[in-house]
Each structure stands twice: as structure tokens, then as C-alpha cells.
Structure 1
């Protein structure tokens, strides 16, 4: 018989797949655009994928904390606390770092006339993607901590 704890672990793992999986390709999706029409379409797809990231991320946080409250000894393990701190930091990166850097890109996509992708886009996206890649590294570290439980 499956215990409540195992059911929460199950939901937690699926939340990671649903939330983090698409998150790793958000940058790749928009790099495929070769003109403004394709680029705008890529950003619409990216927005749809980001919904999975947000839902999965919220479920990850809720189920991760639930696991901690069901098994309070987790709050005394280094891998759990480090994962939680890194996850909260990654969540904070969204509104604090990514949002201000994505707004100029969105404005450019909405206002630019023509099909040739302007140089300004490449400059802005390079900065945005650098922070998105940093966030992906944080998530890879979290996944490694969850699997290996090294300390």
C-alpha cells in the first residue's frame, strides 16, 4: 500500500519533470528563430512552455516543503536545506533578474517593424540567456543533490 509520504514523493518527482524539463529548453526554443516572424512565434511557444515551468515549480515547492514537514529530520540534512535555499534563490531570480531583462526584449518584439532580426535583439537576448543559463545550472545542482544526497 502506498503511504501518503510516498504519494507526495511521486507528485514531487513528476512536478520536477513537468516543471524543470521545459525550463531547460526555454532558451533553445527562441534561438531557432531566423527572422522576426519566427522569433515572435518562438516567444509565444516559450510563453506556453513557461506555464508548465510555473505550475511544476509551484508544485515542487509545495511538495518539497510537505515532505519536510512530514519528515522533519530533512530540515537537518545539508542536501535538503541547500536544495531548498537554491530553489528559493532560483525563484527570486525570476522577478528580480529575468523579468527586468526580458521586458526590453518583449518591447522590441512588439514594436519592431520588418523581418530582419535587429542587432539590439541579439545584445538584449545574450544578457537574458546568460541569466537563464545560470538558473539552469542551479536547477542541475538541485537535481544532483536530490539524487545523490551527498551530505
Structure 2
């Protein structure tokens, strides 16, 4: 018989694959644009992929915390608490760091005339991508903690 806990684990793993997987390529998708038309199209694709990241991330948090409530001993495990804190920090990076840095990029994409990608875009995107890469590193650490359970 499948327990509710096993169902949460199943949803948690699928959410990680469907939510975090696309998150790792968001930066790569927009780096492929060679002119403004391609760049705008890349950002539209990125936006669609980001929806999976949001849904998957929400399910990850809900199922992860749910498993903790069903098995309270998890809150005494260092790997679980560390993963949860890192996940919350990564969630906070979105509205506090990424959103303010992505708004000028979006404005530039909407307002720029012509096909040549302006130099300003490269400056803005370099900073944005640096923070996105930091967030990806945090998620890789979380995945490693979930697999290895080192402490």
C-alpha cells in the first residue's frame, strides 16, 4: 500500500525534475540570441520555461515541508534544515535580486529599435546571469544534500 508520505516523495522528485531542470537552462536559452529578434524570442521561451520553475519550486517547498511535518525527525537532520534554508534563500533571491536586475533588461528589449543587440544589454545581462548562476549553484548544493544526506 502506498502511503501519503511516499506520494509526497514521488511528487517532490517529479517537481525537482520538472521545476528545477528548466531552471538550469534559463540563462543558456537567452545566450543563443544573435540579434534583437532572436533575443526577444529567447526571452519569450525563457518566460514560458520559468512557469515550470515556479510551479515546480512551489511543489518542492510544499512537499518538502509536508514530509517534514509527517516525519518531524527530519527537522533534526542537518542536511534537511540546511536544504530548507538554502531553498528559502534561493526563493528570496528572485524578488530581491533577480527581479530588479531583469526589469532594465525587459525594458531594453521592449524599447530598442533595430536588430543589433546594444552594448548596454551585455552589461545588464552579465550582472543578471551572475546572480542566476549563483542561484543554480545553490540548487546544485541542495540536490547534493538531498542525495548524500551527509549530516
What is the RMSD computed on CA atoms of the aligned residues? Answer: 0.3
Q: For the residues of structure 2 that align with 1:12 and 1:127, how far apart are their CA atoms?
A: 31
Does 1:86 find its partner at 2:125? no
Matched residue count = 151
TM-score (norm 1): 1.00
Q: For the residues of structure 2 that align with 1:103 and 1:150, how far apart are their CA atoms?
A: 39
Q: What SS does the corresponding residue of 1:104 show, helix, strand or coil?
A: helix
Q: For the residues of structure 1 that align with 2:8 and 2:110, how far apart are their CA atoms?
A: 42
Q: For the residues of structure 2 that align with 1:18 and 1:58, how far apart are their CA atoms?
A: 12
Does 1:31 find its partner at 2:35? no
Deviations 1:35-92 (A, max 9, x none): 0000000000000000000000000000000000000000000000000000000000
Q: Which residue of 1 aligns with 2:58?
A: 58
Q: Which residue of 1 aligns with 2:103?
A: 103
Structure 1 ranges of 4+ moved more than 6 A:
none
Deviations 1:94-127 (A, max 9, x none): 0000000000000000000000000000000000
Q: Which residue of 1 aligns with 2:120?
A: 120
Q: For the residues of structure 2 that align with 1:23 and 1:112, how far apart are their CA atoms?
A: 27
Q: For the residues of structure 2 that align with 1:144 and 1:80, how far apart are their CA atoms?
A: 11
